[in-house]
Amino acid sequence: MSTTSVHKGKEKTSTDSENLLEIKNLKTYYPVKGGFFKRTVGNVKAVDNVSFEIKKGETLGLVGESGCGKSTAGRTILRLLRPTDGKIIFDGKDITKVSGKSLREIRKDMQMVFQDPYASLNPMQMVGDIIAEPIYNFSKKSKAELKNEVMDLLDKVGLPPDAYYKYAHEFSGGQRQRIGIARSLALRPKLIIADEPVSALDVSVQSQVLNLLKDLQKEFDLTFLFIAHDLSVVKHMSDRIGVMYLGNMVEVADKGLLYAEPLHPYTQALISAIPSPDPRIKKERIILKGDVPSPINPPSGCPFHPRCPMAMEECSKTKPVLKEVKPSHRVACHLY
């Protein structure tokens, strides 16, 4: 357990060779246009100051409720979205501002698995072509070589060889997600960002896909950023977990620590809210009041203070920063 710490404020510019990905104070705002001339009248602060790092071979889970900015964070890291501010350091290179050819080169090393296995596959393409496309884009391989490689990938994700000639609609949700995973593996990337890869699937199929992802991680030495809203799924998959609320990272810790001893009141509420699949366990529930506020107009101070059962006066005034309160346990809360 190494204790890499990137303190917000006084950033250590140590490019730890162990870290595959480092995110520093990342901000992604979506402009809100309005009025006759469609001028920018405000910003949706989808990601507002997020910092974390992922070590090689590790899985970082990103959890939070809908609208907390976890998907936007994932897409910004892949540079599918332009960050408003902050730094993305991938494999020792600052990729915040790269564009054109060099961006294309980097994309080879980071791939994405999408949430909706129905919308993320082209219905007009054969599955073989869908999986071959990334390889075709980046290398000059003969048709036979390409086909061999695709067959190999199909086998790796547990699909029969005849899937090559089929179309996406002929598969079930779980199988389609396998196709999506095969496609993301095609270029042997270093980092895979999985954005809610199992939330559209049934429990029995979900467990198949989770097991597959774990196996592939071992086999290909992959690093995962695993985005999900289901805390038990995230716990199963991740080594470390980051909890987001309204565009902010509120807590980052090793999995064991986070579940055994959640420090942030939001994390505590989130964990207590999960219904346990055992009727004998009667949990003490923390029921939060109200809904997540709009990210266009986030509350002053700590974004969580209007719903926080432990809010103090200070919470509405100053925004807490993410700081290390225990070894490998960072939290952004005035209580600590």
Partner 1 sequence: MSTKKMLRNEAPLLEVKNLETAFDIEGTDYNAVDNVSFKVKPRQIVGIVGESGCGKSVMSLSIMKLLPKGIGKVKSGEIIFDGINLEKMSESQINKIRGKDVSMIFQEPMTSLNPVFTIGYQLQEVLFNHMKISKQEARQKAIALLKSVGISRPEKLVDEYPHQLSGGMRQRVMIAIAIACQPKLLIADEPTTALDVTVQAQILELLKEIQAVNDMSVILITHDLGVVAEMCDEVIVMYAGKIVERADVDTLFHNPKHPYTTLLLGAIPKMDEQEERLSSIKGIVPSLTNMPKVGCRFAHRCPKAMPECFTVTPVLGDVEQDHEVACLLYETSKPREGVK
| Residue 100 interacts with partner 1 (CB under 8 A): yes or no | no
Q: Which residues, other chains included, contact 3 with Cβ-Cβ below 8 Å and sequence gap of 6+?
A: 324, 327, 328
| Binding-site member from 30, 136, 164, 259 for partner 1 (CB under 8 A) | 259
Q: Per CB under 8 A, which region of 10-18, 144-152, 200-208, 296-304 contacts partner 1?
A: 200-208
| Binding-site member from 274, 296, 310, 312 for partner 1 (CB under 8 A) | 274
Smallest distance, Å, CB 103 to partner 1?
34
Q: Are 278 and 232 in contact (CB under 8 A)?
A: no
Q: Cα dihedral angle (163, 164, 170, 174), rounded to 10 degrees? A: 60
Q: Give phi and psi for 226, each to the nearest 5.
A: -105, 110
Q: Per CB under 8 A, which region of 53-61, 106-114, 120-128, 202-210 contacts partner 1?
A: 202-210
| Residue 207 interacts with partner 1 (CB under 8 A): yes or no | yes
Q: Give phi and psi for 26, each to the nearest 5.
A: -70, 135
Phi-psi region of 179 (alpha: psi -120 to 50; beta: other; left: phi over 0): alpha
Smallest distance, Å, CB 269 to partner 1?
6
Span 216-245, contacts to partner 1 by CB under 8 A: 229, 231-233, 235-236
In the bound state with partner 1, the residue whose beta carbon lies nearer, of 135 and 181, is 181
Smallest distance, Å, CB 127 to partner 1?
17
Smallest distance, Å, CB 236 to partner 1?
4
Can you give the three-state secondary structure of 270-286, one letter per residue?
Answer: HHHHCCCCCCCCCCCCC
Number of helices followed by number of strands (H, E) in the chain: 9, 12
| Residue 292 interacts with partner 1 (CB under 8 A): yes or no | yes
Distance CA 53, CA 56 (A): 10
State the Cα angle at 4 between 324 and 247, rounded to 5°. 60
Span 47-66, contacts to partner 1 by CB under 8 A: 65-66
Dihedral sign of CA atoms 188, 189, 195, 196 in order: positive
Q: Are 330 and 313 in contact (CB under 8 A)?
A: no
**What's the token pair of residue 305?**
């203070």
Smallest distance, Å, CB 275 to partner 1?
3
Smallest distance, Å, CB 254 to partner 1?
12
Smallest distance, Å, CB 69 to partner 1?
14
| Residue 311 interacts with partner 1 (CB under 8 A): yes or no | no
Which residues contact partner 1 by CB under 8 A?
65-66, 172, 174-175, 202-208, 210-211, 214, 229, 231-233, 235-236, 259, 269-281, 285, 287-288, 291-292
